[in-house]
Structure 1
Amino acid sequence: MIVNEQQNSSRARYWDLKKRAPPGVPVFQQSLSQNDVWEALDGDKDDFLIYDACGLLTFHIVLPYSFLHQPFVEAAIRATYQNNICNCSVSDDFRATHTHTHTHTHTHTHTHTHTHTHTHTHTVLNNQSPHSSPRNRSHHNGGFHFEHEPHE
Protein backbone atom coordinates (compact mmCIF):
# COMPACT_ATOMS: atom_id res chain seq x y z
CA MET A 1 0.00 0.00 0.00
CA ILE A 2 1.19 3.51 -0.77
CA VAL A 3 0.15 6.22 1.70
CA ASN A 4 0.16 9.74 0.27
CA GLU A 5 1.00 12.59 2.64
CA GLN A 6 -1.62 15.00 3.98
CA GLN A 7 0.17 18.16 2.79
CA ASN A 8 -1.56 20.12 0.02
CA SER A 9 1.38 19.70 -2.38
CA SER A 10 1.19 15.90 -2.01
CA ARG A 11 -2.61 15.87 -2.20
CA ALA A 12 -2.43 17.80 -5.49
CA ARG A 13 -0.29 15.02 -7.01
CA TYR A 14 -2.47 12.12 -5.75
CA TRP A 15 -3.79 11.10 -9.19
CA ASP A 16 -0.30 11.14 -10.69
CA LEU A 17 0.92 8.93 -7.84
CA LYS A 18 -2.03 6.57 -8.29
CA LYS A 19 -1.35 6.34 -12.03
CA ARG A 20 2.34 5.52 -11.41
CA ALA A 21 1.69 2.91 -8.71
CA PRO A 22 2.35 -0.71 -9.69
CA PRO A 23 -0.77 -2.69 -10.69
CA GLY A 24 -2.55 -4.05 -7.65
CA VAL A 25 -0.87 -1.65 -5.19
CA PRO A 26 -3.52 0.58 -3.59
CA VAL A 27 -2.81 4.28 -3.03
CA PHE A 28 -4.36 5.69 0.14
CA GLN A 29 -4.96 9.43 0.50
CA GLN A 30 -5.18 10.60 4.09
CA SER A 31 -7.89 13.14 4.79
CA LEU A 32 -6.93 16.30 6.62
CA SER A 33 -9.16 15.31 9.55
CA GLN A 34 -7.39 11.96 10.13
CA ASN A 35 -4.42 11.40 12.39
CA ASP A 36 -1.27 11.41 10.27
CA VAL A 37 -0.33 7.83 9.37
CA TRP A 38 3.35 8.73 8.99
CA GLU A 39 3.45 10.21 12.49
CA ALA A 40 1.68 7.17 13.96
CA LEU A 41 4.17 4.81 12.26
CA ASP A 42 7.18 6.99 13.11
CA GLY A 43 7.99 7.53 9.46
CA ASP A 44 8.49 10.47 7.15
CA LYS A 45 7.63 11.43 3.58
CA ASP A 46 9.51 9.17 1.14
CA ASP A 47 10.17 6.47 3.78
CA PHE A 48 9.41 2.83 3.03
CA LEU A 49 8.14 0.74 5.92
CA ILE A 50 8.09 -2.97 5.07
CA TYR A 51 5.95 -5.29 7.21
CA ASP A 52 5.97 -9.10 7.22
CA ALA A 53 2.99 -11.47 7.04
CA CYS A 54 2.62 -11.20 10.83
CA GLY A 55 2.29 -7.42 10.58
CA LEU A 56 5.68 -6.75 12.14
CA LEU A 57 7.99 -4.04 10.83
CA THR A 58 10.96 -5.70 9.14
CA PHE A 59 12.58 -2.72 7.40
CA HIS A 60 12.35 1.06 7.66
CA ILE A 61 14.14 2.66 4.71
CA VAL A 62 14.74 6.42 4.66
CA LEU A 63 16.19 8.86 2.12
CA PRO A 64 18.51 8.60 0.26
CA TYR A 65 18.21 4.80 0.46
CA SER A 66 14.50 4.90 -0.40
CA PHE A 67 15.02 6.26 -3.92
CA LEU A 68 13.70 3.53 -6.19
CA HIS A 69 16.80 3.53 -8.41
CA GLN A 70 18.65 2.20 -5.34
CA PRO A 71 18.36 -1.57 -4.68
CA PHE A 72 17.32 -1.31 -1.02
CA VAL A 73 13.51 -1.14 -1.27
CA GLU A 74 13.24 -4.11 -3.61
CA ALA A 75 15.79 -6.06 -1.55
CA ALA A 76 13.82 -5.42 1.65
CA ILE A 77 10.55 -6.54 0.06
CA ARG A 78 12.17 -9.65 -1.40
CA ALA A 79 13.90 -10.50 1.89
CA THR A 80 10.66 -10.11 3.79
CA TYR A 81 8.38 -12.08 1.48
CA GLN A 82 10.61 -14.51 -0.41
CA ASN A 83 13.08 -15.46 2.33
CA ASN A 84 10.49 -15.77 5.13
CA ILE A 85 12.70 -13.76 7.50
CA CYS A 86 9.94 -13.98 10.07
CA ASN A 87 10.43 -17.77 10.10
CA CYS A 88 6.87 -18.40 11.22
CA SER A 89 3.68 -19.94 9.96
CA VAL A 90 0.66 -17.66 10.13
CA SER A 91 -2.73 -19.34 10.36
CA ASP A 92 -6.10 -17.63 9.86
CA ASP A 93 -6.78 -18.01 13.60
CA PHE A 94 -3.46 -16.35 14.37
CA ARG A 95 -4.23 -13.43 12.04
CA ALA A 96 -7.62 -12.95 13.68
CA THR A 97 -6.22 -12.82 17.23
CA HIS A 98 -2.78 -11.34 16.58
CA THR A 99 -2.03 -8.14 18.49
CA HIS A 100 1.06 -5.94 18.72
CA THR A 101 2.35 -3.33 21.07
CA HIS A 102 4.78 -0.93 19.40
CA THR A 103 7.02 1.54 21.17
CA HIS A 104 9.13 3.76 18.93
CA THR A 105 11.82 6.32 19.59
CA HIS A 106 13.21 8.25 16.65
CA THR A 107 15.72 11.07 16.35
CA HIS A 108 16.15 13.18 13.23
CA THR A 109 19.82 14.14 13.13
CA HIS A 110 20.56 11.52 10.45
CA THR A 111 20.94 9.07 13.31
CA HIS A 112 17.86 6.90 13.64
CA THR A 113 16.96 4.92 16.72
CA HIS A 114 14.03 2.53 16.72
CA THR A 115 12.74 0.53 19.64
CA HIS A 116 10.03 -2.03 18.96
CA THR A 117 8.09 -4.11 21.43
CA HIS A 118 5.91 -6.83 19.90
CA THR A 119 3.52 -9.13 21.69
CA HIS A 120 2.67 -12.23 19.66
CA THR A 121 3.23 -15.93 19.20
CA HIS A 122 4.90 -17.62 16.25
CA THR A 123 4.84 -21.22 15.13
CA VAL A 124 8.49 -22.00 14.42
CA LEU A 125 9.31 -23.89 11.23
CA ASN A 126 12.04 -26.47 10.61
CA ASN A 127 12.60 -27.12 14.34
CA GLN A 128 14.55 -23.87 14.67
CA SER A 129 14.70 -21.84 17.84
CA PRO A 130 12.83 -18.54 17.50
CA HIS A 131 16.04 -16.84 18.66
CA SER A 132 18.16 -18.38 15.88
CA SER A 133 16.48 -16.31 13.19
CA PRO A 134 18.44 -13.39 11.69
CA ARG A 135 15.34 -11.39 12.57
CA ASN A 136 16.40 -11.34 16.20
CA ARG A 137 19.54 -9.36 15.48
CA SER A 138 19.65 -5.66 14.74
CA HIS A 139 21.25 -4.36 11.57
CA HIS A 140 21.82 -0.65 11.07
CA ASN A 141 23.33 0.73 7.90
CA GLY A 142 22.62 4.42 7.45
CA GLY A 143 18.97 4.71 6.52
CA PHE A 144 18.42 0.99 6.02
CA HIS A 145 17.11 -0.54 9.24
CA PHE A 146 16.23 -4.12 10.09
CA GLU A 147 15.29 -4.63 13.71
CA HIS A 148 13.46 -7.05 15.89
CA GLU A 149 13.82 -7.73 19.57
CA PRO A 150 13.62 -11.35 20.66
CA HIS A 151 10.38 -12.12 22.43
CA GLU A 152 10.64 -14.08 25.62
Structure 2
Amino acid sequence: MCQQQAAGLETIRQEYIAHGRTEISFMIVNSKEAPEQIGQLSSRTNFPVYQDTNAINIWNKLNGGKDDVLIYDRCGKLVYFIPFPSSLLRYHLTDWAIRTAYDTDACGCQRKYT
Protein backbone atom coordinates (compact mmCIF):
# COMPACT_ATOMS: atom_id res chain seq x y z
CA MET A 1 0.00 0.00 0.00
CA CYS A 2 2.83 2.45 0.73
CA GLN A 3 4.03 2.12 -2.85
CA GLN A 4 0.56 2.95 -4.20
CA GLN A 5 0.25 5.96 -1.89
CA ALA A 6 3.66 7.25 -3.01
CA ALA A 7 2.73 6.86 -6.68
CA GLY A 8 -0.61 8.53 -6.01
CA LEU A 9 1.05 11.50 -4.30
CA GLU A 10 3.36 11.86 -7.29
CA THR A 11 0.31 11.91 -9.58
CA ILE A 12 -1.29 14.64 -7.45
CA ARG A 13 1.97 16.60 -7.47
CA GLN A 14 2.18 16.37 -11.27
CA GLU A 15 -1.42 17.60 -11.58
CA TYR A 16 -0.59 20.64 -9.45
CA ILE A 17 2.47 21.38 -11.58
CA ALA A 18 0.38 21.09 -14.75
CA HIS A 19 -1.95 23.75 -13.32
CA GLY A 20 0.91 26.11 -12.46
CA ARG A 21 0.98 25.35 -8.74
CA THR A 22 4.70 24.74 -8.60
CA GLU A 23 5.43 26.04 -5.10
CA ILE A 24 3.76 23.09 -3.33
CA SER A 25 6.32 20.73 -1.80
CA PHE A 26 5.83 17.06 -1.09
CA MET A 27 7.88 14.70 1.03
CA ILE A 28 7.57 11.25 2.54
CA VAL A 29 9.01 10.08 5.83
CA ASN A 30 9.45 6.33 5.61
CA SER A 31 8.63 4.32 8.70
CA LYS A 32 11.60 3.32 10.81
CA GLU A 33 10.13 -0.20 10.87
CA ALA A 34 10.53 -0.58 7.08
CA PRO A 35 13.87 0.93 6.00
CA GLU A 36 14.08 -1.52 3.10
CA GLN A 37 11.21 0.31 1.38
CA ILE A 38 12.97 3.65 0.97
CA GLY A 39 14.44 2.76 -2.43
CA GLN A 40 11.10 1.58 -3.77
CA LEU A 41 9.34 4.69 -2.48
CA SER A 42 12.01 6.96 -3.96
CA SER A 43 11.69 5.29 -7.34
CA ARG A 44 7.97 6.14 -7.48
CA THR A 45 8.33 9.84 -6.73
CA ASN A 46 10.16 12.93 -7.89
CA PHE A 47 10.22 14.44 -4.43
CA PRO A 48 12.26 13.64 -1.30
CA VAL A 49 11.79 10.45 0.69
CA TYR A 50 13.43 10.54 4.10
CA GLN A 51 14.14 7.64 6.40
CA ASP A 52 12.95 7.86 10.00
CA THR A 53 15.24 6.26 12.58
CA ASN A 54 15.16 5.50 16.28
CA ALA A 55 17.42 8.52 16.82
CA ILE A 56 15.13 10.89 14.90
CA ASN A 57 11.76 9.28 15.70
CA ILE A 58 9.88 11.95 13.75
CA TRP A 59 6.49 10.27 13.81
CA ASN A 60 6.56 10.18 17.61
CA LYS A 61 7.54 13.87 17.73
CA LEU A 62 4.68 14.75 15.37
CA ASN A 63 2.19 12.55 17.26
CA GLY A 64 1.58 10.69 14.04
CA GLY A 65 2.18 7.31 12.56
CA LYS A 66 2.65 5.26 9.44
CA ASP A 67 0.42 6.37 6.56
CA ASP A 68 -0.75 9.54 8.31
CA VAL A 69 -0.63 12.73 6.22
CA LEU A 70 0.38 16.10 7.65
CA ILE A 71 -0.20 19.22 5.59
CA TYR A 72 1.54 22.49 6.37
CA ASP A 73 0.80 25.89 4.92
CA ARG A 74 3.47 28.05 3.29
CA CYS A 75 4.38 29.53 6.69
CA GLY A 76 5.10 26.12 8.19
CA LYS A 77 1.89 25.94 10.24
CA LEU A 78 0.26 22.52 10.50
CA VAL A 79 -3.19 22.99 8.99
CA TYR A 80 -4.35 19.39 8.49
CA PHE A 81 -3.55 16.10 10.16
CA ILE A 82 -5.16 13.22 8.29
CA PRO A 83 -4.79 9.91 10.12
CA PHE A 84 -4.80 6.54 8.43
CA PRO A 85 -7.13 5.20 6.97
CA SER A 86 -8.68 8.59 6.10
CA SER A 87 -5.37 9.47 4.43
CA LEU A 88 -5.87 6.84 1.73
CA LEU A 89 -5.89 8.74 -1.54
CA ARG A 90 -9.02 7.02 -2.80
CA TYR A 91 -10.99 9.09 -0.25
CA HIS A 92 -9.71 12.34 -1.84
CA LEU A 93 -9.37 13.98 1.59
CA THR A 94 -5.63 14.48 1.17
CA ASP A 95 -6.05 16.16 -2.21
CA TRP A 96 -8.83 18.37 -0.82
CA ALA A 97 -6.70 19.37 2.19
CA ILE A 98 -3.72 20.27 -0.01
CA ARG A 99 -5.90 22.41 -2.26
CA THR A 100 -7.54 24.08 0.73
CA ALA A 101 -4.18 24.83 2.37
CA TYR A 102 -2.92 26.24 -0.92
CA ASP A 103 -5.97 28.42 -1.53
CA THR A 104 -6.39 29.69 2.04
CA ASP A 105 -4.28 32.36 3.71
CA ALA A 106 -4.45 30.56 7.04
CA CYS A 107 -1.32 32.18 8.42
CA GLY A 108 -1.77 35.58 6.84
CA CYS A 109 0.95 35.10 4.25
CA GLN A 110 0.74 37.17 1.12
CA ARG A 111 -0.40 35.10 -1.84
CA LYS A 112 0.75 35.93 -5.33
CA TYR A 113 -2.04 35.47 -7.84
CA THR A 114 -1.26 35.15 -11.51
Residues 52-72 of structure 1 show CA distances to partners (whole Å, capped at 9, x for unaligned) of 111111000012211111100
Give 5+ residue unaligned stretches, structure 2: 1-26
Aligned to 1:38: 59
- CA distance, structure 2, for counterparts of residue 87 and residue 37 of structure 1: 24
Structure with the higher fraction of residues in helix conformation: 2
Amino acid at match of 2:95: E
Amino acid at match of 1:64: P
**What's the C-alpha RMSD, in Å, of the aligned pairs?**
1.5
Percent of residue pairs identical: 36
The runs of at least 4 aligned residues of structure 1 exceeding 2 Å deviation read none
Give 5+ residue unaligned stretches, structure 1: 91-152
CA shift, 1:87, in A, is 5.2
CA shift, 1:75, in A, is 0.6
Q: With structure 1 as the length reference, what TM-score do the two structures score?
A: 0.51
* Matched residue SS, 1:50: strand
How many matched pairs? 84
Q: Do the aligned partners of 1:79 and 1:85 also contact (CA within 8 Å) in 2?
A: no
Aligned to 1:6: 32
- CA distance, structure 1, for counterparts of residue 100 and residue 87 of structure 2: 16
Which of the two has higher C-alpha Rg? 1
